[in-house]
Amino acid sequence: MSTMNKFSFRRTTLLMGRYMALNFKHYAVIFSTMCGVLVGISLLKTWSNGGAYDTDSLLQMGKLFIFLMGLIITSTIFKELGAKTRGWFYMMLPANPLEKLLANWLISSVVYAVVASVVLVLTSMVNSLFISLIFNEAFYIVNPFRMEFLKLLLHFCIIQSVFFLGAIYFEKNNFFKTLLAIVVFNMGLMVIIGIVAKFILNSWGLTDVRVKQSGNTDSLELILLAIRIGYYSLIVPFFLTVSYFRLKEREV
């Protein structure tokens, strides 16, 4: 029992291998479908443009597919835990909650980002092969190391942590329930910010606002800097910590 309480990277990798082995066919179908849809849409768009290959359109569609598919996959990463027939078996796996949490998070964030990027590159190659043969256009391969693409993956890994918590917290319809929770939270936050802003403006008065305009600009920049720092450095650790305790609670 004391050995189980200690973190083991080997058990974590075994859990990752177990998950990918059980779900390989399912995800192969998903990525194949994504590839087919992107190629089909790109061919139709090229045909409608008179044979002109719009490479930016392919990249934008690919980024959208990767982002949405990643959030959906993340929302179902703990589907085994929520299944009545397999939930108890999953809870009794010889691994502690931290290892289960890390294994599923790595699969749904880092592993998914790498695999999705490779699939998008292969999709662009297949798509370019068809377009070069049919429309005699130049061969184009998506560059996954472009800064805008890397930023997309970074934002995905941050937002993905929210849906990762939703995958543990909710038992069914995790994606839509998490999305609804985000919308409700944002609406409540906007109301609170509006009330606070109105209170501050009323207390200052319009004349004072004009006088303190330069100071307000500096304060606004500091607030925005704090928000950026919190977004990039605090969201993932916070939601992973909450997810860990929620997983322990469900296992009890």
Average pLDDT over residues 44-73: 88
pLDDT at 216 over 70: no
pLDDT at 202 over 60: no
pLDDT at 237 over 80: yes
Q: Are 131 and 210 in contact (CB under 8 A)?
A: no
Q: pLDDT tens digits for 142-190?
A: 888 889 899 999 999 999 999 999 999 988 889 999 999 999 988 988 8
Q: Are 140 and 98 in contact (CB under 8 A)?
A: no
Length of the chain: 252
Q: Whose CA is closest to 97, among 4, 187, 24, 160?
A: 4
State the pTM of this model.
Answer: 0.86
pLDDT at 107 over 80: yes
Following DSSP, what letter does each residue of 136-201 receive, concatenated?
-PPP----TTSHHHHHHHHHHHHHHHHHHHHHHH-SSSHHHHHHHHHHHHHHHHHHHHHHHHHHHH
pLDDT at 33 over 80: yes
Following DSSP, what letter does each residue of 76-127 receive, concatenated?
TTTHHHH-TTTHHHHHTSSS-HHHHHHHHHHIIIIIHHHHHHHHHHHHHHHH
Task: Report the 10 Å Cβ neighbour count for 89.
Answer: 10
The most confident of 128-137, 142-151, 198-207, 219-228, by mean pLDDT: 142-151
The predicted pLDDT at position 132 comes to 86
Q: Quote the DSSP letter at residue 7.
A: -
Q: Please provide the average confidence, as pLDDT, over all residues in the chain.
A: 85
